[in-house]
Amino acid sequence: MSNQVPIAEGLFTWPSKNPALLCSRCQDCGIATFPAAESCSACSGQNVVVEELPGRGTLWTWTVQQFMPKTPYKSGETPETFKPYGVGYVELPGGVRVEGRLTENNPAKLSIGMDMEVVFEPYRTEENGDEVISFFFRPAA
C-alpha cells in the first residue's frame, strides 16, 4: 500500500472522513477566500477564521486544456501520455467560486450551470512512491 500525501497543506481536510476544501472567512465583512489567507482582500482586515466550504455547487465557467503545459506543471505525464483536462470555476453557495481541475475533459459534457461536486483523488505518483492527492470537481449525479 503506497503512502498518500496531500498536494499542499491547508487546502483541504482530506484524509478526514468527509473531506472538504478550506477557506478563510472574514469575521468583519463575511467574505470567503480560497485558499485560506491571513487577511481579507475585500476589507483588508485580519480577523479571519478558517472554515470548510460546501462540497457541491454549480459550474460558473470552464475550458479544456488541450496542450501539455510547461513547468511548473507536474503531473508525471509525458507529451505521449498527456491527456487534455478540464478546468473550471465552481460556485459553492455561500462560499466562493473555486478554480479547480475537472474530472471531465469532454467539452460536449460540460456546460455552465451544471451541478458539480468536489472529490479528492490521486493526482500523480512521486519518485519515492508517494501518491499525491489533489481536489477535482466532477459532474454531480
Q: Name the site residues for other proteins (rule: CB under 8 A).
A: 7-8, 11, 23, 31-35, 41-42, 60-67, 69-75, 85, 87-89, 91, 95-101, 107, 112, 123, 134
Cβ distance to other proteins smaller for residue 93 or 141: 93
Minimal distance, residue 26 CB to other proteins, in Å: 11
Minimal distance, residue 84 CB to other proteins, in Å: 9
**Max alpha carbon distance in the chain (Å)?**
50
State the Cα–Cα distance between residues 115 and 53, nearest whole angstrom.
16
Strand 85-91 to strand 48-52: parallel, antiparallel, or no bridges (unpaired)? unpaired
Cβ distance to other proteins smaller for residue 2 or 66: 66
Strand 56-65 to strand 4-6: parallel, antiparallel, or no bridges (unpaired)? unpaired
Cβ distance to other proteins smaller for residue 17 or 70: 70
E strands, the chain, are 4-6, 22-26, 32-33, 48-52, 56-65, 85-91, 97-102, 115-125, 131-139
Minimal distance, residue 60 CB to other proteins, in Å: 7
